Amino acid sequence: MLTIAEAGKRLATGAVTSVALTKQALARARDPDGEGARTYTVLFDEAALAEAEASDRLRAVGVVSSPLAGIPISIKDLLDVRNRVTTAGAPFMSDMPPAKRDAAIVSRLRAAGAVIVGRTNMPEFASSSLGLNRGYGTPRNPWDRKTGRVPGGSSSGAGISVVDGMAVAAIGSDTGGSIRIPSALVGIVGFKPTQRRVPLDGCFPLSNSLDSLGPLGASVGCCALVDAILAGEPPEIPDPLPVERLTFAIPRKTYLFDELDAAVSQSFERALSVLSAAGARIVDVDLPGFTVEKVGFTQRPSFVPAEVFAVHRALLADRRSRYDPRILANIAAGASLTAADYLDMVAVRRAVITEIGNALEGIDGILAPTVPTVAPTIASVDGNDASYHKANGFLARNTAPFNMLDGCGLSIPCHEPGAAPVGLMLAGMTGSDHRILAAGLSVEMVLARALQ
């Protein structure tokens, strides 16, 4: 994997061209022995090479629009691209009208000089944390690929595109963990921003209240750069916050720490020890409002079924039989929710954001395992509906609360080299994005030194 900074240095010195980087990414995506056919739903070969050639010509005369100039980027299949159909992970949507314009963040990426390689695979309509797709196929996790493990979802192809060098960075969406989950399971960094910072225009919705768009990359710095561009901010990496000045909260009494896989628990506790030894202040915090009923969404009436059903009502009228039955079950659950249920959820959400925000006053971020288990095998979760739904909810258990809290969060690898990938989640309340990213840079550096 290349970081954006490393690729940028090579471009600046002439050691490589954007055309060469793009050809390499496309070759890996087209390799019949690789995962490209299941990682991308469509590749923009001709357009990507034209963008790369234009970037090289501009660089030759001293025009470099941003640190992303000439860098191959993948985008999730739910983002509109002008004159192309957005299938949102559902092949049966291929006969829909093409988009009239690029999604807002695609326009921002183009303006920054990024090369859009293609659109990455995802579960139908982003409705799964496992990453399975019966129509386009399921890309296998790079860890233990021979066995065949889930990539994590719903930004499943996004994570694989980065790890396998089919893109330098990727854009995903996150409604309950769909950036952070695959990042944790494949061993890269992912960032979910506060929702309002990044426009959702031109993004096929799952939940208008919870959807966020953000980056996956090889480092926190990669995510910080891409996030800034998506948010319309100057493309800069923040200065790292000295780790010895940081205070992190561990909510051990919450369900985030129930039933942790042994590998996850060991990697997490080791990461805490390393951060503590480096000078970070780590405190246990009591969050009585942090309950499944208030901040979980897979075990209670939630925004997702209500809002996704509203989106799909018209499509279901004549395409119901073409949906993946498991995805259809999630969508159809919203039909029984009433307006009163929805208003209750809005009120609960507003109150718990205030309650937990007050309890975390003076805290730089919450630390917890991103996902409570390492990547399960595809066979173990795809065999029957009961195992599928249980695993689907379990993988999103730790990440989903921070969507309900309108927060932001990083997943940073914290496993030893060669071990099963494990993510350390560093999460913050709404609007604390820059501080979380700045703290994440220091956390990443400390962990990298200790785990090498």
Catalytic residue among 55, 66, 76, 209: 76
Whole-number Cα distances in Å, 366 to 288, 401, 429: 15, 12, 9
Q: Which residues contact 257 (CB under 8 A, 6 or more apart)?
A: 251, 368, 369
Distance CA 424, CA 447 (A): 10
- Told to judge if 154 belongs to the known catalytic residues of this protein, a careful annotator would answer yes
H, E, C per residue of 128-145: CCCCCCCCCCCCCCCCCC
- β-strand 423-428 against 365-369: which pairing, if any? antiparallel
Q: Which residues contact 383 (CB under 8 A, 6 or more apart)?
A: none
Distance CA 306, CA 286 (A): 31
Q: Which residues contact 309 (CB under 8 A, 6 or more apart)?
A: 331, 332, 333, 334, 335, 337
If one counts every other C-beta atom within 10 angstroms of the C-beta of residue 37, the result is 16
- Omega before residue 154 within 30° of 0, cis: yes
For residues 425 and 411, the answer to whether their CB atoms sit within 8 Å is: yes
Catalytic residue among 18, 66, 161, 178: 178
Q: Which residues contact 63 (CB under 8 A, 6 or more apart)?
A: none
Number of C-alpha atoms within 13 angstroms, CB side, residue 326?
25
For residues 129 and 392, the answer to whether their CB atoms sit within 8 Å is: yes
Q: Is 39 exposed, middle or buried (0-12, 13-18, 19+ CB in 10 A)?
A: buried
Encoding tokens for residue 72? 């191959």
Distance CA 42, CA 36 (A): 10
Number of C-alpha atoms within 13 angstroms, CB side, residue 67?
22
Distance CA 160, CA 170 (A): 9
- Told to judge if 156 belongs to the known catalytic residues of this protein, a careful annotator would answer no
Q: Which residues contact 185 (CB under 8 A, 6 or more apart)?
A: 141, 143, 149, 150, 151, 152, 159, 371, 374, 375, 421, 423
- Told to judge if 178 belongs to the known catalytic residues of this protein, a careful annotator would answer yes
For residues 190 and 215, the answer to whether their CB atoms sit within 8 Å is: yes
Catalytic residue among 55, 154, 267, 302: 154
Give me the active site residues, please: 76, 154, 178
